Amino acid sequence: MAMAQWNRRTWIKGVGASGATLALGGLSELALAQKNLTIGMIYVGPKDDFGYNQSHYEAASEIRKMPGIKMVGEENVPETQSVQKAMQGMISQDGATLLFPTSFGYFNPHILEVAKKNPDVRFAHCGGMWDASKHPKSVSSFFGYIDECQYLNGVIAGHMTKSKKIGFIAAKPIPQVLRNINAFTLGARSVKPDITCSVIFTGDWSMPVKEAEATNSLADQGVDVFTMHVDGPKVIVETAAKRGKFVCGYHASQAKLAPNAYLTGAEWNWVTPYKQIVDAARTGKPHPNFLRGGLKEGFVKTSPYGAMVSEGARKNADAIKAAMLKDEFEIFKGEIKDNTGKVVIAKGATIKQIDPVLEGMNYLVEGVIGSV
């Protein structure tokens, strides 16, 4: 690929080391000891998608403010050989020694193949894929317990629905998605046990036409509160709002898109793991291979409530959130049945957020209308 095209990646350039040192007097000894670092960011979609890619771009924008950081980036890179070319170009031409290939499908085989050829480069992948028994130490995996925020979305939805029909539009029935669907449903049914949550899978992470069709279909069936797990929630949010329905957002805040329909949202706060990974790279510490965290650890956050959210809904959600922050609340606490009637978590049993069994979730809970 021509150098001119690679230069267009520098829409996320950070400050250089010399300029940063001159501008920031009185740096601590730790900061002075940190080496300069070139970071490569790769996004599967546009950085302003009001969703997954934007959440990563916002975190990268904070990291690039750090002294001694240079950042290059490329957006709209598909989960194909294209991402291998993008990563290798950033390494060979830009001198990147830390890469954040952010999309789930970048991991295997793409990151693993490029990592083999570049053993001195660190790769930080967003998802739950790294396995100590299989994967190199130069590769890491980070993710957040955003199901905590989806549970809170569900609590608000449970208070605000009039039809007792809520909806979830998702890309694929992978464990992380199923975990969010189940948390949202459990949260809503904690308020009104007879609520149902209808689920439609679109088949891929960015399918705007299918997302609009799914939203309209569920609205026609009486669903009056929506949430989602797709890369760019914009279409779902705007379509639901046009139909006079409420929405709980995902990835980043979509409040600006539908201020009269946006109740709250489940947002990523990727700057927290980013800083841990970047600090380790700059100080020569081991690459943190497996990072996880929820509300308490600052990996995720909730959107501010919309004006239409009732006082009772706010108090209920705030109380649960406070308990989560104190490690005094568990989402997956038995007895829980799946939507075929099978007991999946026994009465009295609790599966904590850190338990890897949740990352293999393969069922939909009672109250969900849909199938895996």
Tokens linked to 330: 């568990």
Please indicate, yes or no, whether residues 252 and 181 belong to a single structural domain of this protein. Answer: yes
Q: Residue 271: what pLDDT?
A: 98
Contact 32/96 with Cβ under 8 angstroms?
Answer: no
Looking at 113, 144, 175, the residue that finishes a domain is 144
How far is Cα of residue 262 from the mean position of the Cα atoms in its chain? 19
Local mean pLDDT, 10-residue blocks, the chain (372 residues): 38 39 40 78 95 96 96 96 98 98 95 98 92 96 96 98 98 95 98 98 95 98 98 97 98 97 98 98 96 97 98 98 97 98 98 92 98 96
Looking at 119, 144, 169, the residue that finishes a domain is 144
Q: Residue 32: what pLDDT?
A: 42
Determine, yes or no, domain membership for 276: no
Please indicate, yes or no, whether residues 168 and 104 belong to a single structural domain of this protein. Answer: no
Q: What is the dihedral of CA 44, 49, 52, 55, to 10 degrees?
A: 120
Q: Give the closest residue to 246 by CA, choosing from 217, 215, 211, 209.
A: 215
Please indicate, yes or no, whether residues 140 and 152 belong to a single structural domain of this protein. Answer: no
Determine, yes or no, domain membership for 316: yes
For residue 338, give the DSSP letter.
B
Please indicate, yes or no, whether residues 72 and 170 belong to a single structural domain of this protein. Answer: no
CB atoms near residue 324 (< 10 Å): 21
Please indicate, yes or no, whether residues 127 and 154 belong to a single structural domain of this protein. Answer: no
Q: Residue 359: what pLDDT?
A: 87
Q: Residue 6: what pLDDT?
A: 34
Give the strand order in the sheet containing 196-201. Answer: 300-302, 262-268, 246-251, 225-229, 165-170, 196-201, 368-369
Please indicate, yes or no, whether residues 115 and 242 belong to a single structural domain of this protein. Answer: no
User: For the domain that residue 217 is a member of, what is the CATH number?
Assistant: 3.40.50.2300
Domain with 43 in it: 3-144
Q: Residue 127: what pLDDT?
A: 86
How far is Cα of residue 83 from the mean position of the Cα atoms in its chain? 20
**Residue 323 corresponds to which amino acid?**
A
Determine, yes or no, domain membership for 292: no
Q: Distance of CA 303 to CAs 86, 155, 263, 312, Å?
A: 33, 14, 8, 17
Total tally of structural domains belonging to the chain: 2
Please indicate, yes or no, whether residues 100 and 169 belong to a single structural domain of this protein. Answer: no
Determine, yes or no, domain membership for 280: no
Q: Residue 356: what pLDDT?
A: 86
Please indicate, yes or no, whether residues 138 and 243 belong to a single structural domain of this protein. Answer: no
pTM of the model: 0.88
Looking at 97, 127, 144, the residue that finishes a domain is 144
Contact 43/82 with Cβ under 8 angstroms?
Answer: no
